[in-house]
Structure 1
């Protein structure tokens, strides 16, 4: 029975993890739900490459019929003539003539436009097809049609201004902001230059409010998940990428926090999006820390005092022993030398004084 209960618990855990992964997967494509999905996720292609465009993940397209539209040479045409939800725009071998604007349309509803570039030239810039979220890191890659090595020196430009060079052909923009939005291109010396592509930046729809300063151990803290139009929704909280709690109240309280709670936290609002990760730092209580330091300092002082006392006592015993030995020698010699009988006191050598008893006192020191 115990084995069966353990198996059931393990099965339930696996199911929960799979459901969590499914939620994450479905929300990943909704970073900006008003754009068509492009595979591979970039805006520039060499000729004879394939590109796949569809609209089945747009949040406002609940219609059963939709189609991919495109515009080039000022002409609007249907990319796929089928009015089916499974229909998509599949270009198995691209040509320069396939360059243009693409968007989704369904019964009067129109998505945002993406501008795809197909070139016969030797260089393209790989940049995200969809808008990137503020605070994320974005990598731009410069590709040479005839060279796949990683040792590829390339220059990168934003709005016509050089922003950096790379020996690997890649450049990463850390923590992107609205100021990073613009037209980007790259240039490979002796090979050529890519076309320009627009990099769009969107404000993240979900924000996790968490303490910026380290939290003292033993305190309670509350994490708040904020999003636009988030009423009657379920919020998922994660620590180090693992789901730790679901909440309909959009907040999570950690009681009596400890070092084990330290880590990267984020939240996900179903149907809206996901926040950036925030580091939660936990520190030891200053009082306990000071007490520990004081105790350690007091112990150190005791050790020093004990060591000093022991050494002093040992030294004292050595000195006393040494003095006692010398004293015995001096007393013995002095007794012999101090009271020396002489028949003629003044004829005795090194005599300093004599008394009436003709006892001579020597001042010579015997060691």
Structure 2
């Protein structure tokens, strides 16, 4: 029993490790002068490719290959960054797992920037904040935290030694008569980001159904809020024109076609959950498929249904080709593999077609990157140690009482 439990925990641990990424900004800053070069790198623990995404101040959601950057595997380079590039950036895998977010601000003319770590900072590190005017160096600067002056430095930089949670906050600086935009200093809390879950657990539903979205987190759901981008590229948060915020997420009493969107959870510390592409259909047929990616070897059932029945004969399609006809409205795939991954939909005679839905399958042979192996080697003892200790104590107890190992 203990061996089985340990195996399940290890599988969960490695799957979780492979579904995480960190967005690294190079040079490491969240503020830049116009025409600077910036690289955005997805540091991750799987063999999958990740893509850099952003939504800008115009609330437009787009990926690096949309024309604003030069995409390479798990990386995006911006050669001459401009004010229109100001916005929130993150990495996302094809399975819709996500990295942390970084708020990047671009300053023009003779403005001031505050150079501070772009990502989460580890408690105990030493960090330096640099206040800069374009084409000038080492001028006196005053630093502010949460709008209160904390220090004036003659050479324009301030070092915080052994940073702690108490140093977290919104920082600005003033040089001459110019003030920088705010920059957040955020401390790593060691916890995995939240996971967005949706009830009903399907990528499609009919109009006027109840929709419940929850941010599931190791500690609590407090401090997380749900955001979405609709089909017309509008970004908004639960409670602003749609949905009712709840203690765990967001509640939509009567879902409508306009609620079709990509949803995710955000925290105050710029953490971001997985995203979910959810369709609210006004037609007669929906296809129920899992929201989260499957793992090779899993079994999955696809359900084709109308508003009144889920047992009618139907045809299933994948990537434009007919797969099979099922007499009772459902198709089960046993032991899925990556070859089963694709875009599915179904058709019921006399009722019509469902919208398409992606079925994602995570390969079981993904190998962690070298940086991931380092993280795993550091953290793995935390997972294994309790079970190793229990096993040693059990063996000692067996030897002490004279019982055989088998009986123990």
Please state which band the TM-score falls in when normalised by the shorter chain.
0.3 to 0.5
Relative to the length of structure 2, the TM-score reads 0.43
Higher RCO (CA < 8 A, seq sep 6+): 2
Which protein is richer in strand relative to its size? 2
* TM-score normalised by length of structure 1: 0.47
